[in-house]
Every structure is written in C-alpha cells, then in structure tokens.
Chains A and B, each alone.
Chain A
C-alpha cells in the first residue's frame, strides 16, 4: 500500500475549502494563507490549480536542512511516504523554503510548515466538495489516465473504419 494525495485539476472549482480545512487542522483557525495546500485561481483562464507538497523521493528540503529536522518516513496505516518536520529540531532558518522549487514549504510561527498528510487521513481530501483531491494508491491515478486515453483512442479507431 502506498497512498498518495492526487489532484484532478479538471474538477477543481477554486473554492479554497482545502486551504480552510488545512489551516484549521494545523493552525486552529480558518485562514487560507496558513494552509499547507494552496489553490491558485487563474480567473480569466477559467482554471484553478491546487498545489501541495508531493513528498519528493529525494527531497531537497530534507537534504539542505542543517539541523536534521526534516526526514522521510512511511506512515503505517496508509503506507504513504511523507516528508516531515520535527519542530523540536527546526530553528526556522528557511533553507528548506529556498530549496523547494514549488513553494510547498513555508516558515510559520517559527517553524517549517508543510503537508504531513494529516498522519494518513488528509482533512483537505475529506472535505474537497468536488472530488478534485483524492487519497488513493500511488499508481491508481496513472492507471486511470491510461484507461481514459485508451478509451479515447479506441473511439478514434472506431471512427476511422
């Protein structure tokens, strides 16, 4: 088992519920800016894109951390790999913020703050009202994508005959 947080951009309506629930879970207040997940709404392109830590296999934030506060582990229930921050060791030096190319780790209230998959049952997924966020087996999403294209291809073969 290796569950991952997967995003279907097609289904996202930019409602920011993920940010609100995340900030509430981890910071005790509804504040989209304190979410560890962020949805960027491109108004005139009619598209909204949620972005959250992808829990890199070889995480640059982990590599650069001078105090060893960032480490990878596998969550027992979901089998998910997660890159996590030990607040006791973190000094808030922001090297991880510099290292992450995606902006998915920030320093808040003195410590590095990033997605920890809520320990294996992410609240953002529980509340995403349109199913744009899911917590599923790592290869499930790829299988779905292949299946979708296979169907499309099959359709085009049918039309050609």
Chain B
C-alpha cells in the first residue's frame, strides 16, 4: 500500500560543508516499515552513519524527523526527534522535544531534515517553506539559547520557529542539548554537541502549509475518542503540578534517588515537591505555553529572584528536581531552579548534569577527588557549589572541563567509575531501579543508555497504568508490584510500544494519562491510509525499531556486557524505604528478557528473529 497523507513524502538534506540543500523523496518503504520520527531517523542513521564514525567528527549526521501525526490535531501531536550517534554513549542517540519547531517542519513541507558535513564558520540555517538559506552565525556564537532564539527570529521572520544550541553545545560538552521554543529541550545523549561539532548554531523553520489525512471522518472521530480518554482527574493534577507532581509518590515507593543513589527516600522531599514548587516559584502552570495540540499543558514556568542566574524560565521538571534537589541533596527549589536555568540557557541536559555533580559530591566526600582539583569543597547539600559547577561545566572551566565529559568519564579519570550512576555512560534518571525492579531492566537494555522515557517501566507499577495491552491482554487489573521481577517480558513489550508512540510523533504523556494503542493505531491508519495489521502488526514494527537500535549499537561495538547497571545497583541493597534490602535483580531478569526478544545469550539477534522482523543482520561482526 502506498502512503499518501500524514507524511509530506519529502526529506530535506542539508550539507553544511558545501552550503547546499537537496530535496529527496521520502523512501516510502521505510515510512511504512518504520512509521516516522524515531523509527524513520533510526533507519536512516543505520544506513548512513557507519560504526567507526566519530560522533563529533564530520561524518556523523543529525537526523531531525517528525511523525505522520506531527502537526495534526491529535492530542500531543507535536514531537520531533534528533537522531544521531551519541558522543556520550558511542551508540544511538535519540532525543525528542515538543513545540512549534516540530510542527513547523511539517508545515514547511518536510518529514525530516538531515544535517551533514561541517560548516567552515558558525552558521544557522533558515528554512522558509521550500527555500533554504545559510546565514552567518558569528555574532550568535557564544550566546545563550534564549538570546539566540530571539536573535534568529529578529533576523529571519517573526513566525519562524527555532531550535538552537547554547555555549555548551559549541564547547562540545558531551551532554549538551538542543533547545527550542524558549525552554523545550531535546535533552539527552549529547545531540547539542553534535550540532556544535558541525558549527551549526541554530535551525529556523517557517512553514505555511498544512497536514492532510487520508480518512478525515475516521481521523476526527478517533481524535474525539482520544480527547475523551484524557479527562481523567490525573490530567488535572498533571496540569496543576506538572511532572514535579509525582515526586512525593516516587519517594513513597522508595525510588527517589538521594545522595547519588545511596538512599531511595528523602526525608525532606516535601521541600522539593511539585506542590511546594506551585506554591513558591511557579509563575503559574505555564498558561499560554502548552505544546501544540496538547490538552494537558504540563510544562512549568518558574521565577527566582534576580541575581545569579535568576529571572523567569522553563522548568524545573521532575527529573531535574530529582537530580539537583534530591540526588545532590540540596533540597532547595531555588538552587534547583537556578541550576536548571543555567542548563537551559547554556544548553545542557539537566539529568546528566545533576547526576554527574551528585557523583562528584560523593567522590569528594569519600576523599577520591582532591579539593584542589575542584577549587572548593563539594558536599551533598551545597546548592551554591552545585550552581557554580553547572556554570563551570558549561564553560569548561577548571573541574568543569572534566564534568563536561559526563559523570562516567569524570569518575573514571579518578579511577572509580563505579560511583557514576549510569547505563552505557549516560546518567540514570530519577528512579532508583532497586525500588522499581522493572526499571533495572529498562535502564540496562535501553539502547540510548540510562533513560526513563523510551520505556517507562515505572508506569505500570507505581503510576498505576493498567489500560495498555501489556497488562490488559493478560487479564491483569491491578498495577504491578514495583518489586516484581517475574515479568521481564513486560519491559520488552513496553519498549516496543513506546517506539510506536515516538514514531507516530505523539507525546507519550497522552498515553500514560489515558490513551491506548488502539487509538494510536486508528490515528496512524486514518492519517496515512495504511493498514497496520492490528495489534500484532503494530508491535512487530515497534520490535523492528528497537532491534535496529540495538543492531546499530552492536555494530558500533557495544555488547551484551554493556546491558548492565552500576555495581551499587547490583550489589548494595537499598538501605531504606519499601525497597529496603533489595538489589537490582538484573541477573535474574536478563536471560528471560533476551529469550523473549529472540536474542542469543550474548544479546545478539538470532537470524530467525531477524527474519521475522524483516531485518537484515550486518554481514560483518
């Protein structure tokens, strides 16, 4: 079947070395086999960026795909993705953000942008519907993200939508992010450093077109059902308190990382809760700043007194508070917010930044990092030192130059990588996997490294999501016990299921708050005119995308040995909370997970399973 709508069927390939752009037809076979967004970008990355490519070298490429649903009126149809080879993990990076930048790509007539080569001097690219121009960015180089966005809009068009890097991306901080629409972040995997390595400061897109769908009545009828599914009282809680509204709940399950994951509960969690944030720093729940087509508007906008890194800005989100507030143990929302603002303005991932500082704090307290190396004492709870280090990291000053390599490399430099709480050299998010066992498996096997969002294994346990096929089809009506280790297959299914959400171009919060796979399938089918082959057909696509990410990693040299967690998770029982006495039972869960995946004991996809998924195994090892 031929894809006709949903997609624009056009890919814009931009060569920064020669300042030229070409429009290519979207390979429709790829669109049909991989849907779009995450799947589409991954396939192109696999085909075009070889295993020996240096992530920060000229041969790496940056794919910016959208999904067939991006830009429509479906709830949360507002995502784009940055897919590239990660300078942090050496494997796949795929980092997603929402906002007008995402929909502008579709409205400009494209499904995906590809950026390749290296510009001779700093540039930004302006895509005005079909017209591409390369502009000098010498004056913007060195500027913070918000200034950059304002500057680019002033120099291009008032209705241009901008994604850009800050000074951290320019300085190749390994976890630099890309920011768009004044405070939205494609945070993880160091995608901003890849942009910096190409001397690409910003991308501005102005799109005046629209998105058509194959079956209008079916699409609208499905959208109506989706909105009806999003009337849960929890939607209101999420609107009022955003992601920080979950902090107290995670703490009650003993999964709130405290002092670099030495503990799973924080007695002072109330001081950094979403409720406290709403009472104190929230300007108000981001009214006027919902992402396009979102019924929730979960984003925060906060104000801290002017002074060092004060002002008004986006954030902090739950993960940011978990890292800067609890793992660094500052328990101070103002310090957290200042640290968050620096990260936004300089363009850095708050999770890896916070996690790396927490690691440095523990190592300093253990006497493993000399005071002279840092220049000051670095103890848990010292908000001032934390904020200072964020600043130093963005500028690669002193000890910050080491932190800019990420927590793992910093700890390794001192000979103690075990104190870095990450997976595949990327910091874990704000869930202790010993208290939520399915997260242990999700963290360890996630192709992009420590991550809470491509496979939200926390959802069907502590967040009580029971309306997805994973549990519903098995007759399970109650949330899974977070300490359960008997259902590794749930994690595999969840990872595949989230690939589908991320490939359609929707925000996964919509699903956690009420939508289900049948609605996603109806949306994709009505938009594109494809027949997805029911639940099995759709899940096969999810598994195909996941396995292709893994194949990319295996080809790049990551092995089953990298599907692991820090020794603390595997050997040190959690000392407190409901998970007290538990270690992450990875050794128990991995073998059945591999079997369920159709992998051999070494974590390699078997030829049989590859054939089933329609994947070709690489010919050379």
Contacts and interface: CB of A to CB of B under 8 A. Distances in A.
A41 to B, nearest CB: 5
B210 A46 contact: no
B71 A17 contact: no
A31 B159 CA distance: 14
Interface in B294-310: 294-297, 301
B233 interface: no
Interface stretch (B280-288, B326-334, B498-506): B280-288
Contacts of B212: 28-30
A14 B289 contact: yes
Interface of B: 71-73, 75, 103, 107, 182, 208-213, 216, 220, 223-224, 227, 230, 239, 283-284, 286-297, 301, 312
A47 B210 contact: no
Contacts of B295: 15, 17, 129-130
A27 interface: yes
A105 interface: no
Given A12-B287, A46-B288, A31 B182 contact: no
Contacts of A30: 71-73, 210-213
16 contacts: A13-B286, A13-B288, A15-B293, A17-B293, A20-B73, A23-B210, A24-B73, A27-B210, A29-B209, A29-B212, A30-B212, A41-B288, A46-B283, A46-B289, A129-B227, A129-B296
Contacts of A129: 75, 227, 230, 294-296
A27 B210 CA distance: 10
A130 B182 contact: no
Interface in A19-43: 20-21, 23-24, 27-34, 41-43
Contacts of A127: 73, 223-224, 227
A85 B286 CA distance: 37
B287 A46 contact: yes
A145 interface: no
A31 B211 contact: yes
A6 interface: no
Given A20-B72, A21-B73, A31 B288 contact: no
A95 interface: no
B289 A41 contact: yes
A42 B211 contact: no
Interface string A98-132: 00000000000000000000000000001101100
Given A13-B286, A41-B289, 14 more contacts: A13-B294, A15-B291, A16-B293, A17-B295, A24-B73, A29-B211, A30-B71, A30-B72, A46-B287, A127-B224, A129-B295, A130-B239, A130-B295, A130-B297
B211 A44 contact: no
A43 to B, nearest CB: 6
Contacts of B208: 31, 33
A23 B75 CA distance: 16
Contacts of B209: 29, 31
Contacts of A42: 288
A161 interface: no
A136 interface: no
A48 interface: yes
Contacts of A27: 210
Contacts of A29: 209-212
Interface of A: 10, 12-17, 20-21, 23-24, 27-34, 41-48, 126-127, 129-130
A9 to B, nearest CB: 9
Nearest to A48: B288
Given A13-B288, A20-B72, A46-B283, A28 B216 contact: yes
A103 B232 CA distance: 37
Nearest to A20: B73
Contacts of A45: 288
Contacts of B213: 30
Contact of B210 (A10, A16, A34, A43): A34
Contacts of B286: 13, 46
A135 B288 CA distance: 21
A33 B289 CA distance: 18
A33 B108 CA distance: 12
A34 B211 CA distance: 11
A14 B481 CA distance: 38
A15 B297 contact: yes
A101 to B, nearest CB: 21
A45 to B, nearest CB: 7
A126 B227 CA distance: 10
Contacts of B289: 13-14, 41, 43, 46, 48
A47 B290 CA distance: 10
Contacts of A126: 224
Nearest to B294: A15
Among B213, B291, B295, the most chain A Cβ lie within 10 Å of the Cβ of B295
